[in-house]
Structure 1
Amino acid sequence: MAENGGGPVVLSTPAEMRAWRRAHPGELGFVPTMGYLHDGHLALVQRSKQENALTVVSIFVNPMQFGPGEDFERYPRDEARDLRLLAEAGVDAVYLPTPAVMYPPGYQTYVTVEEVTKRLEGAARPGHFRGVATVVLKLFNAVEPTRAYFGRKDAQQLRVIRRMVQDLDLGVEVVPCDIVREPDGLAMSSRNVYLSPEQRAAAPVVKRALDVAASRWAAGEREAEALRRAVAEVVAGEPLAALEYVSLADDVTLEELEGRVEGPALLSVVVRFGATRLLDNVELG
């Protein structure tokens, strides 16, 4: 346990975190992050502070959710800057465990959420959501939050965590929060730092493509394939962008929709700019 120069207390083990929680009863909001914080994270923090007596943020780059060849080693990190931002935001405590603390030698227990992880990012990144569900459950067990705050940008992750919380009777309220965007529409993400200047200038095409499809939905278009095609056509007009997938899926189950769409649906997209994958989505209906 460490004091952060008048800022939030920094806790580094589950035992320290639980002891702090026992000493601080009351409603607690929790924002789990992988660090390299941006205004999207800080918006979650502010929402938590509005709705809870206490706010805890975790910083943990979770090796379990990165697959072979993914960017675990080069994932951006700046712990000192993160702690300064969280102090300025008025966070009460920061949970900052290490991989050795989270997954000690002999570790062999994992959480698998079945159906909702089979498509989209689950198909593109095998094992990713097993890592996400496992680490979030471990974080919840240590922090014991009343509410936990997640951005809508990682739409499938949000649904996976909701499912886990419901199925395992965790008693945590999962609070979805709106996507925070740059002025030109690009969804804020720690991975945006990977973009070259040219790629960064091209990246707003992702939001433009979703906006075109959303406007067609608002005008009455209900054919799933027409809405997916609208996204693909806009992305195809940007030479630096490569469409990995576009999905129009049931808002809860994430099963791909065909034919006429009536109920709430999630329109999501992954676009590559070089080696960088950008995710974005819009909820329809």
Structure 2
Amino acid sequence: MTDAPVTVERSDAVATVTLNRPDRHNALTVEVKEALVAALGEVGADPDVRAVVLTGAGRSFCVGQDLGEHAAALEADAETAFETVALHYAPIVLGLATMPKPVVAAVNGTCVGAGLGFALACDLRVFAAGATLGTAFSAIGLTCDSGLAATLPRAVGDARARELVLLGRSFTPEEAVGWGIAGEVVPSEDVRASALALAQRLAAGPTLAYAESKRLLAVGLDRTLEETLLEEAVGQARVGRSQDHGGAVAAFLAREKPEFRGR
């Protein structure tokens, strides 16, 4: 097993990015965060990768910031200790949310703090039954980061998001799905395989259309209906000129299965 803080494995057109500190429940040090920023940039820019899985090694997905390292940073200089939010957490979340290809979170275990932010920044989720989820920030006297102030209320509504952030209580995957954090709940031993199968299905699909849909959905709630209609027209025309669309229409008329190549 490699001791790299983040690993990238490729299987056909799917790349699996794994946080690799299983002995520390994939707590996030600067080394891990920098490696994750680099890995997401790498797979995001690779034209041979058409879908991505994000997961954690061992029994946890990610427990958020490594508090030992954070305590040392506070002691060294409290004024600079939180620069990591802009330097690392923001690029990670943006890398997941804006990647021009689908990203599936394989939430194999405990997923709290920034870990929950990363999972919600992904497009789809597969949860391990019995996993512990939570925001966790208020327990250590902090507020949200990793995009949770935007993604959590969008998923569960404003009132529920306030409850989860202010009270900081943990919750189950079943509760998460019931509240609107969409995802499939499977036995823990099946999480990675289920996420990989989902990513493979997406990788065989119209990735250009997926990328355009991600762009539109990311801003749809913040625009007027008129603005959204205009943006949809632009996006539809853009993907409509692709070979994927033309080939899919021809395949439909011929009663054949379309093949999407991302161009």
TM norm structure 1: 0.25
More strand by share: 1
Question: Per residue, is there more helix in 1 or in 2?
Answer: 2
Q: TM-score, normalised by structure 2?
A: 0.26
